[in-house]
Each structure stands twice: as C-alpha cells, then as structure tokens.
Amino acid sequence: MDATTNALLIDDDTPLSLPDFSRIATDDFRPAIERGMQLHRDELAALAAQAAAPDFANTVAAFDRCGNLLGRVLAVFHNLTASATSPALQAVQRALSAPLAAHHSAVYQDAALFQRIDAVFQARHGLGLAPEQLRLVERTHRDFTRQGAQLPPAARAEFATIQGQLAELNTLFAQNLLHDENAFILPLADDAAMDGLPEFVRAAARQAAAERGLAQPVVTLGRSLVLSFLGFSRRRDLREQVWRAWVGRGAHAGAQDNRPVAQQILALRQRQAALMGHASFADFKLVDTMAGTPDRVWALLDDVWQRALPALDKERALLQDAMAAAGASHPLQAWDWRYWAEQVRQARYALDDAELKPYFPLPAMVAAAFECAQRLFGLRFAPRTDLAGYHPDVAVYQVDDAAGTPIGLFLQDNFSRPAKRSGAWMSMLAVQHRNSADGAPRLPVVLNNNNFARGEPGTPTLLSPDDVRTLFHEFGHGLHGLLSDVHYERLSGTRVLRDFVELPSQLFEHWGQERDVLRRHARHWQTGAAIPDALLDKIAAARRFGQAYDTVRYTASAMLDLAAHQQPTPVDDVDAFEATTLAARGLPADTGIAHRMPQFQHLFAGDGYAAGYYVYLWAEVLEADAWQAFIEAGDVFDPTVAARLRAEIYSRGDSVEPAAAYRAFRGRDAGVAPMLRERGLID
C-alpha cells in the first residue's frame, strides 16, 4: 500500500509532531487499520517462532514493542470517533469493532506466544530482573490470562466470540446515546421561556442555536447547559421537560433504545465471568484492582451511603424551607432540586453562579492550571500555533520541563458540539516510553476533552466552579500522561489499575480551589478586577453545601453498577432492575442518580469502568489523604512534597504496585477520614 496516498500510513515518529489531520480521510481508516493488524500479526508470528529460548528481552520486552503502526492509527481513530465524528466515521466504527476485537483476542489467545510469555513468567524470580522488568512480566502475563489464554480451546473460542459481540454492542450503545443527545432541543421562544435565566445561560443558549443554524435560543443536552438551566429557570414545566430528556437519554423505544443493548452486554459479561471460573462479572473484574473483591467495594459504598442519607435530609429541609417561604406548595421533585438548591445557596451564602462566572473565564482558568503545573513540577506550556489539531477548537501546546527540555505535547478541546460525545475525558495520541525499536525515547501526546458551553463571539466562555473542577480534573489526568517516566509502553502513564487512575486527577482538583491560585487568576472578564476576598469567603463557606446531594447521586450509580455486574443470572429488564435495586437501598425519588443504565457510558460504551464506577470514591480516599501531605507541610506548593508526588505517583505509571507507590509517597496507607470530612459526612 502506498503510504503517500494514506496519511495514516506515514511512519512518522518524529518527537513533538501531530498527524496531518487535514490529509486524513474517513476512507483511510479501514485500510490503515487492516494494514496495522497484519503487521502486528507478522511481528508476533516471528516472535513466537524464534528458535532462541524465551527470555525477558526476546519475548516480554519484544512483545511490548509490537503493534506500533496499529496503535498509532487506532489512537487517531478513537479520538476522532469520540471528538469529531460523522455518520461515515460511525459506519467505519461499527464495521471495524468486531474485527478489532477478534484481532485483540487472537493476540492474547495465541498459544505459541503465551507459551513463551508463560515460560518467562514461571522463571521470573530467577532471572535477575529489575523491578520494572519484573512488573512488566507479571502485568503482561495477567493480560494474557484475563483474555482466556489458559482456557480450554472451546472455552477460549467462546470467550473471543463474546469479545467481538461486546465490541459491537459497546459501539452501538455509544452511538445511540450520541443520537439522543443530538436529537433534543428546547426552543426558548420568548422572555417567558427564559424567566430566571442569567445572561450567561441566555448567551450559551443563543450560541447553541447559532451552532445549529437556528434563530431562537435553545437548550440542548450538553451537560453545562442542562445543569445551568435546571439551576436557574423559574419555568418549572420547562425544567421538568429538560430533566426528563436528560434522564431519558438512551431509553426510547426504537432503533436507538439502549435498554436491550445494556441487557445483552450484561448477559455476555456474565458468561465471560463464568468461563473464567468466577461467580459474577464483578468478581472477575475486581480481581485486578486495588479493592480486589466486591465485598471491599460494598463496605466503602455502604459506609458512605449510610452517612450521606442523613446529610441529604438536612439539605432537603433547607430546600423545603425555601419553597415554603416562596409560597411553593408542590412537592419537591427531581427537576426542582437544583433550582431550589440555588435559591438556598443565594439566600444562605449570598452566592450564585451568575455572580461567580464572570470571574472564571476559560482562558484564565487554563492559565491557572498551567501555572499550578509549573509551580509544582516545573512544567511550562507554550502554544504551538504551527501544529494543527483535528478541529479548530483544539489548542496545541508544547510542554517543557524546568530545564527547558521538551517532554511532550498537550492538546485541549474544551467545547461541546454535536459531533462530540458528552462528558469529559483524557486520551493520548502517543504514549511515553523508551522501548522503541530504534532505541529513541517516545514523548507523549496528551489530549483533554471537555464539553463547556461556548461563549458567544466576542465574549469568553465563562465557567462555573463545577466546570473549573472538571478542567483541573482532566488536566490532572493529562499530567499523569505527560509526567510518565517509565521504560515500557505497557506500564506508561495512566495504564494503571482502574481504582488508582483517578488519584492524580482528583488530587489536582484541589489546586483549582486554592485561594492563592484564584486570587491570581480569577479576574472579572470585563473589568479585570480580581475576585474579592469576600466572594472567596462565600465560596469556601458554601463548599460543603450540596455535597450530600452529589454523594447520594454518585454512590447510588456506583451501587447500581456493582449490583448489576454481581448478578449470578443476567438482568432481563434494566428499567425494573434499576428501580428495584435503588428502592431497596432507599434512594429518595427527589434526587435521582447521576447515571441511569441506558445512558451509563462508563459501563456500556466499553468495559473500563464496568463493575468499577466506585473507583472515583476509592481514589477520593487516596487523594483526600494525599492532599493532607501538603496541608501538613504548610504550603500547597511545598517543593519537597511536590517532588515526592511527581516521583512516586505521577511519573511511575504501572511500574510499581499502586499501594506500594502510595506508601512511598505518603509513608503509610491512606485513611478514610479526610475524604469523609471533605464530603461533609463527618466533622
């Protein structure tokens, strides 16, 4: 195949470069991916057939180097299908999901290849391996065994078949959800429809309409716009309409109904677990986590749940008092909660987002995140206007360390748009490692995607405190990828156990709330005035308000996930299962949950967080305890603590077992009390 006619096949590993997105056509992906799979198979066949006895260098390290072209093409493909998709690209995604899953299964179920991997694994303690090499052997061996490499032939084949079916269903689930998110708009035809909306919400609605070629302002299902509308609109009927559209995503009868898709995914996962000798998919999945077992996860979830419900009762009482004072006689419903919480916040703390957001323009908050990375780790971010991203929204930065040495590229894609999936996430176009075929180190290329409601032309995008937290969270993931300093690609950056991966991101959120940071960067976008100390006092005083509501909604979603994946028999009706499970746990109807099953992308658009949505809470135990190291030092930018954080957490990747990495940073295991205090669940 002529690489000059397919930009994806240009073998360019030049540091600090990006693919030429302007030359990449949708039709390029299938031949490039097929070529990548063929080259990968050829490399692995040669590895398995070599006459030399298996050792670390010729087998495990060599395996880590295989598949370079395929990995590079898939990184581009997966990023575009998430961030800049199209009907044609979605068709390619559907067509390739099963072949890619089959390729993955063929790699990890190759008997000759596994025989060599297993031989090194069995002899590993007598080979004089360095700690990172030993970790690579053990993680690679586990990758094979968890893909069925040790199963009898018939079971191995069934496991692979299921992997292909799941890949197709995961793709279908994500595309169905994107369809529903794009299908809904609520026109705001007049001032009556916009009653109560501050100017920043009205501006976001006008911009959402302009992006869709519409004359009237509209509410879409972009998260930032939905939550703002629910928090400020005085039109209870419209709040209910938007809320029902939001919670009903993926749950409409017809071609885009995700309920049967979720049912099939759960059934197939349960069958995989049975093939692997586990009672449930949760048992199978949690073996390879810090938690280890469902019982340990339930213990954490139940503890938090029992503390959160009484705290929620106190928050509800405040809302009901506000309703009574305003003469509202209707019962509090789920579409009312955010509106009345905003009324309480304004009355009790004299604080509202309309007052706050002018101090949080997006460019200033990006600069704040960059400065925190510089103060903590010596990093500097310089715009690379000569490098073009995959969309005009994408900003590209070169990242240098304190000595001025480049360590990677950082791309930021901040705005919601119809061709982009909802949520916020970090991904990579290239991964840091030093195990390349030519011996040259590979630098990371990291992406952050957010879904902020874009400001109108001539005005900046204004963020809420929750948006700022999201920005810093994803940037924390980005730093985890950028600061990686390992030899082997399999152990790089964020390729860690799932309930450890959220530690660097959730920890970094703290700097986005620090007074010193906000005084420097939170400036009124029109006047340039720094945010007043009085307003910072209000933010601090209000910080715990609403924590019970958020905790209940999150924990209910995590419990629903674990319960669904712990069923010994398949769930045959996701609506009924969801309702029964949440009722048994005592979920109040007026709060709802963060994610209903037909829209739960964490669980059903892939298996990364399946039986694992609890990980944010698990990691919060770690990050709240880790933050105390800076508090104890008396300086949130303490250089000694920051150096230890970089060395033991952000740079380690999966080269060290996570609990050992945390102990190396903190000197002990994490305690749960700091997390409970942060959430206002203990004094």
- Tokens representing 283 are 């048992």
First to last CA, the chain: 66
Q: Is 55 helix (H, G, I), strand (E, B) or coil?
A: coil
Identity of residue 206: R
Look at the block and give the residue holding tokens 């909802």: 422
| Catalytic one of 43, 168, 474, 620 | 474
Evaluate whether 241 touches 164 at the Cβ level (below 8 Å): no
Distances, alpha carbon 497 to alpha carbons 33, 157, 474, in Å: 27, 27, 17
What would the DSSP string read from start to end of 643-681?
HHHIIIIITTTTSS-HHHHHHHHHSS---SHHHHHHTTS
- What is the rounded distance in angstroms from the CA atom of residue 347 to the CA atom of residue 53? 74
Give, in order, the Cα–Cα distances in Å from 267 to each of 94, 162, 261, 273, 574: 21, 10, 10, 10, 12
At 587 the three-state DSSP class reads coil
Give the span between the Cα atoms of 343 and 350, in whole angstroms.
Answer: 9
The single-letter DSSP state of residue 325 is: H
Residue type, 681: L
168 in catalytic set: no
Q: What are phi and psi of 225, to 5 degrees?
A: -70, -40
Residues 448 and 412 sit within 8 Å (Cβ to Cβ): yes
Determine the Cα–Cα distance for residues 185 and 548; give it in Å rounded to an integer. 30
Which structure tokens are listed for 37?
């799979």
Element (H, E) at 105: helix 87-108
Rg (CA), the chain: 25
Buried b (16+ CB within 10 A) or exposed e, 103-131: bbbbbbbbeebbebbbebbeebeeeebee
DSSP letters for 615-647: HHHHHHHHHHHHHHHHHHHT-TT-HHHHHHHII
Amino acid at residue number 369 = A
The closest of 512, 546, 127 to 308, measured between CA atoms, is: 546
Q: Rounded CA gap, 679 and 3, in Å?
A: 54
Please classify residue 633 by burial: count the beta carbons closer than 10 Å to its beta carbon, then call 0-12 exposed, 13-18 middle and 19+ buried. middle
Strand pairing class (395-400; 218-219): unpaired
Lookup result for tokens 């730093």: 479
Angle at 289 between CA 287 and CA 291, to 5 degrees: 90
Side chain identity at residue 167, one-letter code: A
Mapped onto helix, strand or coil, the DSSP state of residue 383 is: strand
CA-wise closest residue to 473 among 514, 451, 448, 506: 506
- Tally of CB atoms within 10 A around 12: 11
Q: What are phi and psi of 53, to 5 degrees?
A: -60, 145
Report, as residue numbers or ranges, the catalytic residues: 474
